[in-house]
Amino acid sequence: MPNRESQNIEFKSDWKDDCLRAISSLANNKGGLLKIGLDDRGHPTGLKNIVKLMEDIPNIIRSKLGITPSVELEEITGHDIINVKVSPSSVPISYNGKFYLRSGSTVQELQGKELADFLIKKSGVTWDDAIEDKGSLSNIDNTTIEDFKRFALDRIPAISREADQSTILKKLNLTEDGRLKRAAVLLFEADPQRLHSHAVVKIGRFLTDTDIQTTDIIRGNLFQQLEGTLDVLRSKYLLSNIKFEGIHRRDILEYPYDALREAIINALIHRDYRGFSQIQIRIYPDKLIIMNEGSLPPEIPIENLKTNHLSKPRNKLLAEVFYYAGFIEAWGRGTIKIVEKCLEQGLPEPDFKEESGVMTVTFYQDRWSEEKIRKLGLNERQVKAVMYVKEKGKITNKEYSKFANLNSRTSLRDLNNLCEKRIFEKAGTTGRNTYYILTRHKHDKHDINPT
């Protein structure tokens, strides 16, 4: 017999109306057991009128809460105990018009946003799946529809032959009885901000957390926000490095374009649109931060974002349409792709953080750029060694001696000096199998010691 209360076990010394509150909280959670006739420490108190209680309790629960739990009698050390076994309910259970959940061994009333989250979760309808009362087919942007048809050609080949907008929206499950759902407004209206003014992307250049140089706000539907945000970042906020592959010129952004695109898409489709905060992109001298309101589902802890994990979108319809457009995969690999693209470009791993209901992705600049390296007091051959390792991944003493035209002792001294400055670190086995790589310490310790 359990001797203390827990997340799914509650003790009550006698039957009273407060028991109904406890039963509703168990039903709203994962179910559990209410033991009547025990004090808070699990000691029997002695119940009276057992026969009457065994008759009344099921009827009262059914009448007040609309559920029928199992009610059984148990004897503990010569005392009768009534066990009320409560199954988890697929629908929300209220008591006197209020909703309760178990939190540890306590019963908590749900209010405000917590209550809204609970009711939506129990209803099985996500925010974007609800009808938008003020939505109108006349406000649907034809250009966005045509763009989507082109994007979705690989995954919905027949869509190219569909000319009627309302039919397209219906097939995408974005309407119900001819009325637009919220997802349709965000995805395809020309001006969704008329109904959801906060559904924008705000971009700012920050010298410090309080010193803001410039700000841009990207409006329009979600497809327009994605394209507009990337265009503004590329043209106004981020530097490009020029690289030639043969005769072809490539402009490489200081942060990987594909990783930024993936992170912005994640923010657009996973944000909690019931809140009133905009998506924010903050560009600092050494990092870029993307923030959106909305917590991760409890099944996906933050540390799992850099490994294979389930895909559980907050806004299912938004995610489905972006999937049909070929903008995302359905495998939960978006965050892994972000990490991979940063590493491919020689950048530190980005950070994912969830705090106070806000998701944050932080990208870090290339700490091994030639411009930064030249400020560290290195000689010219050491600078070339760093650039060599940045491209090739590693260097040996023999390789360095050869391209720098040095004897082995001077070469080794240069390499050890780079290790002392925490730019290089040794790897491999000792002797001839030793090689040097760029330091792998995390970006939160990435200040390079020039001494």
- Residue 442 pLDDT > 70: no
Confidence band (pLDDT; 50, 70, 90) for 315? very high
Q: For residue 441, what pLDDT is reported?
A: 53
Q: Which pTM was predicted?
A: 0.68
Distance CA 178, CA 137 (A): 9
Across 380-404, average pLDDT: 89
Across 291-300, average pLDDT: 83
Give the start-to-end residue ranges of the domains of the chain.
Answer: 9-122, 125-366, 370-445
Which is nearest to 397 in space by CA: 442, 447, 450, 434? 434
Residue 202 buriedness (CB in 10 A; 0-12 / 13-18 / 19+): middle
Which is nearest to 387 in space by CA: 238, 239, 237, 243? 243
The tens digit of pLDDT for each residue in 89-135 reads: 888 899 998 999 988 888 999 888 778 777 777 766 788 999 999 99
Architecture of 125-366 per CATH?
2-Layer Sandwich (3.30)
The tens digit of pLDDT for each residue in 226-255 reads: 999 999 999 999 987 656 555 555 677 889
- Residue 443 pLDDT > 50: no
Bridge partners of 82, per DSSP, are 36, 73
* Residue appearing with tokens 């009768």: 80
Distance CA 275, CA 358 (A): 10
Architecture of 370-445 per CATH?
Orthogonal Bundle (1.10)
> CA angle 337-340-341, nearest 5°?
85
Pairing of strands 201-206, 279-283: parallel
Which is nearest to 337 in space by CA: 266, 280, 271? 266
The third-level CATH classification (topology) of the domain covering 9-122 is 3.30.950
The tens digit of pLDDT for each residue in 42-88 reads: 888 888 889 999 999 999 999 999 998 899 998 888 889 999 999 99
- Residue 220 pLDDT > 90: yes
The upper half-sphere exposure of residue 383, i.e. CA atoms within 13 Å in the direction of its Cβ, equals 12
Tell me what the pLDDT averaged over the chain comes to.
87
Alpha carbon 450 to chain centroid distance?
Answer: 37
- Residue 186 pLDDT > 50: yes
The upper half-sphere exposure of residue 129, i.e. CA atoms within 13 Å in the direction of its Cβ, equals 14
Q: For residue 417, what pLDDT is reported?
A: 92
